[in-house]
Amino acid sequence: MSKEELVSGCSFAYKSLEPENVPNPDTKNVPNVPNDGISERQKLILNLLKNDGNMTAAKIAEECDVSEKTIKRNIAELKSLKLISRKCSTHGKWVVLDKWLR
């Protein structure tokens, strides 16, 4: 690969990362939760879990177009904020706590 081809490929990659080229997640139907530092992705996660409490981290990651590890960090934060909980400790259904959905 020539130097020119390499530079051209890099500029294409950087251009694809510019904000206008990155898709925004659909947050139209996101529940009305307090804005205590909740990110748009976390609002989207809340919406997904409200609609289907059986979603896995892998499925949520696919929907949000991020890694499963990122989703697990977001879920941990939502749990610590007491916005979500699990009916059973490990494999139960996710529950979005109603007191936060006013």
Residue 35 pLDDT: 54
* 82 φψ region: left (φ > 0), alpha (ψ -120 to 50), beta (else): left
Q: What is the mean pLDDT of residues 68-95?
A: 88
Residue 43 pLDDT: 92
- Tens of pLDDT, residue by residue over 4-20, are 555 555 555 555 555 55
- Tens of pLDDT, residue by residue over 43-79, are 999 999 999 999 999 999 999 999 999 999 999 999 9
- Look up tokens 């979500």; give the residue: 84
CB 16 within 8 A of CB 29: no
Is-above-0.75 flag for pTM? no
Q: 7-45 burial, b for 16+ CB within 10 Å, e for fewer?
A: eeeeeeeeeeeeeeeeeebeeeebeebeeeebeebbbbb
Residue 33 pLDDT: 47
- Tens of pLDDT, residue by residue over 22-50, are 555 554 555 454 555 789 999 999 999 99
